[in-house]
């Protein structure tokens, strides 16, 4: 018996997941995206294009949303969105990286319609989305997680049950906060070493071998040194995640001064027109050319 799943948002992450599931004949897959270019990537696959999010709510047991902004999630799970079209018994899984408050509102709207809501923001990037090894940060009641189990396993078996819906979104924001701040810190430190005239490949090795080591120094720094800024995770999204994490910290009365300074670099990169580039392009606003010789 085939099951129906529809994706609202078929960008870099949602699109890669939808494409992988569409290759499995056990699933009938629908996709909606406002971008014709995003949809064109489904030519030659088994996935069917939906005309609107509402069509997905009407035709699918599982509704998966993967949207860039909290405002997008708010709109989708509202009266003006798909809430009225959900069947009782439908299962909604939201993969977006958003604040816990918006997530709680979306969950309440979906549950009021008699459907089930699971938060499942995603770790890592498009490569892991395509090969099914993405970390899923799951939030929801145990009943909701059970109802969503079939589609969650189809997305990835690498699952972390974080707690409630709010906790799942908060965990994702905390992770991205650290990851993106580590990148800003790494580029500042690399800039100091480069300005001192240290060979860049050697400096890369130094940042990978000792106490400075991080995911960013292991994975992203070699791309940056090679001048490869192809988007895996874009500056616009990172800036949004940092902004949401810092707002969350303030609501919790928690310190976030270091990340708040890192956020300024992401905003500078946006002003420099780099919003669509990989976050590695932060180097263009943080990096120095070593021309200033020390006194």
Radius of gyration in angstroms for the set of CA atoms belonging to the chain, rounded to a whole number: 20
Does residue 44 bind a second copy (CB under 8 A)? no
- In the structure encoding, which two tokens stand for residue 174, read together? 């905390």
How open is the CA angle 137-140-146, to the nearest 5 degrees?
A: 95
Does residue 196 bind a second copy (CB under 8 A)? yes
Does residue 239 bind a second copy (CB under 8 A)? no
Among 81, 193, 234, 280, binds a second copy (CB under 8 A): 193
Query: Distance between terminal CA atoms of the chain?
Result: 74
Does residue 248 bind a second copy (CB under 8 A)? yes
Instruction: Rank residues 151 and 170 by Cβ distance to a second copy and give the closer one.
Output: 170
Among 23, 26, 112, 202, binds a second copy (CB under 8 A): 202
Does residue 290 bind a second copy (CB under 8 A)? yes
Among 48, 130, 188, 272, binds a second copy (CB under 8 A): 188
Does residue 100 bind a second copy (CB under 8 A)? yes
Half-sphere exposure of 212 (CA within 13 A, CB side): 18
Residues of this chain, 124-163, that bind a second copy according to CB under 8 A: 124, 135, 137, 160, 162-163
Does residue 108 bind a second copy (CB under 8 A)? no
Q: What is the DSSP string of 92-141?
A: EEE-----HHHHHHHHHHHHHTT-EEEE--B-S-HHHHHHT---EEEES-
Among 39, 69, 260, 272, binds a second copy (CB under 8 A): 260
Does residue 197 bind a second copy (CB under 8 A)? yes
Question: Do the Cβ atoms of 282 and 235 come closer than 8 Å?
Answer: yes
Does residue 49 bind a second copy (CB under 8 A)? no
Report the C-alpha dihedral over residues 158, 160, 164, 170, rounded to 10 degrees: -100
Instruction: Rank residues 10 and 184 by Cβ distance to a second copy and give the closer one.
Output: 184
The 3-state DSSP class for residue 29 equals: strand
Does residue 13 bind a second copy (CB under 8 A)? no
Report, in Å, the least distance between residue 111 CB and a second copy: 20
């Amino acid at each position: 018996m085939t099951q129906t799943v529809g994706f609202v948002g078929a960008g870099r992450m949602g699109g890669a997941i939808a494409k992988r599931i569409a290759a499995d004949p056990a699933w009938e897959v629908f996709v909606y995206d406002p971008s014709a270019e995003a949809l064109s990537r489904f030519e030659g696959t088994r996935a069917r294009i939906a005309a609107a999010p509402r069509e997905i709510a009407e035709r699918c047991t599982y509704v998966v949303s993967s949207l860039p902004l909290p405002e997008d999630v708010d709109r989708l799970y509202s009266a003006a969105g798909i809430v009225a079209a959900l069947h009782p018994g439908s299962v909604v899984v939201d993969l977006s990286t958003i604040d816990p408050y918006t997530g709680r509102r979306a969950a309440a709207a979906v549950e009021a319609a008699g459907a089930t809501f699971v938060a499942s923001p995603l770790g890592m990037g498009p490569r892991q989305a395509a090969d099914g090894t993405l970390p899923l940060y799951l939030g929801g009641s145990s009943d909701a997680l059970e109802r969503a189990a079939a589609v969650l396993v189809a997305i990835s078996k690498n699952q972390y049950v974080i707690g409630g819906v709010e906790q799942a979104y908060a965990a994702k924001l905390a992770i991205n906060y650290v990851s993106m701040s580590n990148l800003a810190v790494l580029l500042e430190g690399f800039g100091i070493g480069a300005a001192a005239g240290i060979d860049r490949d050697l400096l890369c090795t130094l940042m990978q071998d000792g106490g400075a080591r991080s995911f960013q120094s292991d994975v992203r720094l070699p791309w940056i040194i090679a001048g490869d800024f192809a988007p895996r995770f874009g500056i616009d999204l990172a800036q949004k995640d940092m902004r949401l994490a810092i707002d969350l910290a303030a609501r919790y009365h928690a310190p976030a001064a270091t990340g708040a300074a890192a956020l300024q670099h992401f905003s500078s990169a946006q002003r420099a027109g780099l919003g669509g580039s990989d976050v590695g392009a932060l180097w263009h606003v943080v990096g120095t050319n070593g021309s200033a010789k020390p006194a």
